[in-house]
Amino acid sequence: MRAILQRVASASVSVDGETVGAIARGLVVLLGVEEADAHDDVEWLAAKIVGLRIFPGEAGPWSQSVAEIGGEILLISQFTLHASTKKGTKPSWHRAAKPDRAVPLYEAMTATLQELLGRPIATGRFGAMMQVALVNDGPVTLSIDTKAKE
């Protein structure tokens, strides 16, 4: 499982001109699920996302987590995070999980993040063509891969 986290002042995601998810201060999480992923990846990654100290606080610029600041999370599925560009100029997504495998893990991630955060999170719409708007705060952008545990 791969995730790109962006610390934001605000963000929203729209499908066909309709806003389906929006947050104020918090994190936008772009999530890519691959065939080899399992619920262990969901648990590890969700805990990492909610616990990362990437927000400023009284103890310094990197002293609080999204949970500690009362921030929000916008979770968006993005299979293109598993693009392979090794051959030629057309990306291949052969490692990205098919919907029958990816949807349950995406839904598990949504539920786990809500549980750890203690409140609902916003989401995009799985499989839809989405438009994402955000105000990156910092900017702060992190990449996490559950296979590398980094």
Q: Hey, which residues are catalytic here? A: 78-80
Asked whether 77 and 15 are in contact (CB, 8 A), the reply is no
Query: Radius of gyration (Cα) for the chain, nearest Å?
Result: 15
CA distance linking residue 123 with residue 74, whole number of Å: 5
Question: Rounded to an integer, what distance in angstroms lies between the CA atom of residue 65 and that of residue 94?
Answer: 34
Identify residue 40 by its one-letter amino acid code. Answer: D
Tokens 């705060």 belong to which residue? 137
- At 14, the amino acid letter reads S
